[in-house]
Amino acid sequence: MNTTEKQTNYEIAGHVGRLLREAFGKGPESIFVSINRPFVVIYLRSFLSPTERILLKQDQIFSIQNTRDLVMKSLIPEIKAYLLLLAGMQIREFYYDWGLHNHSGVMVGIETDDDSLQAGLQERYTGKEELHKEIDTISFQVQKRPEELHSCMINERTLLVIRNGILISIEKELIRIGHEESLKLAKRNLEKNHLHNNSHFTDILKSQVIDVFVDWDFHLDKSVIAFILNPSR
């Protein structure tokens, strides 16, 4: 990474940290920005406000997630604007998720450039085929096998998996009648249990998995999974 790229990442991290601090009263202790166009991944560590800490002790996880979802709706346009200003990235899709047990979080932006998207997804890395099989199996256990499954190693610590065509008929109907938020909370809970309690990922990727995040864009019938890795294993 050259000096200009480092400076851009530093400025993005600074702006995102300030936005979160203003919105939640406390920002993350550290923010790591990774850009591998058309993807940008923003990984947050030690991010939990004093109020959320109390709620977490009382097992009020859904309350925290609901509140954060409401706040993020207002923050996402600002984050997209900063990414355009600082990195020249026209973000079309934006995903986020929280690892409340680790006090961590991730934001993933995807640009509008379809050519670079396809190029990024063709990349090879250790364990790619095996990982796709494992994700396919988990998807089938939770809902159905994805119609398309792609992945990209952003850097040695960040892996993205993209699934298209994952919603079943009852889920589409729940979205149509206005139960999108409830569906997302339920899917997040169910699918993350499968992702977190899977011992195969570390062996497949030859790397310790520190965090796993997942989010959906129901209107695109699409999901993004982000693995945060420790390659020194």
Q: Is 60 exposed, middle or buried (0-12, 13-18, 19+ CB in 10 A)?
A: middle
Query: What tokens appear for 138 in the block?
Result: 């988990």
pLDDT digits 0-9 by tens, 93-152: 999 999 998 999 999 999 976 555 665 566 788 899 999 999 999 999 888 999 999 999
Measuring CA to CA, how many Å separate 24 from each of 56, 102, 157, 187, 192?
A: 15, 17, 27, 25, 24
Sign of the torsion formed by the C-alpha atoms of 218, 219, 223 and 224: negative
User: Rounded to whole angstroms, how far apart are CA atoms 47 and 104?
Assistant: 6
Query: What tokens appear for 139 in the block?
Result: 């998807």
pLDDT tens digit at each of 233 positions of the chain: 678 888 999 999 999 999 999 999 999 999 999 999 999 999 999 999 999 999 999 999 889 988 999 999 999 999 999 999 999 999 999 999 999 989 999 999 999 765 556 655 667 888 999 999 999 999 998 889 999 999 999 999 999 999 999 999 999 999 999 999 889 888 888 898 889 888 899 999 999 999 999 999 999 999 999 999 997 65
The pLDDT value given to residue 124: 82
Contact (Cβ atoms closer than 8 angstroms) between residue 16 and residue 31: yes
Query: What tokens appear for 165 in the block?
Result: 């065509």
Spatial CA neighbour of 111 closest among 215, 38, 33: 38
Question: Any bridge partners for residue 32, and if so which?
Answer: 43
The pLDDT value given to residue 199: 84
Query: What tokens appear for 179 in the block?
Result: 């139960």
Going along the chain, which residue ranges are E strands?
30-36, 39-45, 91-99, 104-111, 148-155, 158-164, 208-217, 222-230
User: Rounded to whole angstroms, how far apart are CA atoms 118 and 160?
Assistant: 13
Say which residues have a Cβ less than 8 Å from residue 97's Cβ, sequence separation at least 6. Answer: 105, 106, 188, 213, 214, 215, 226
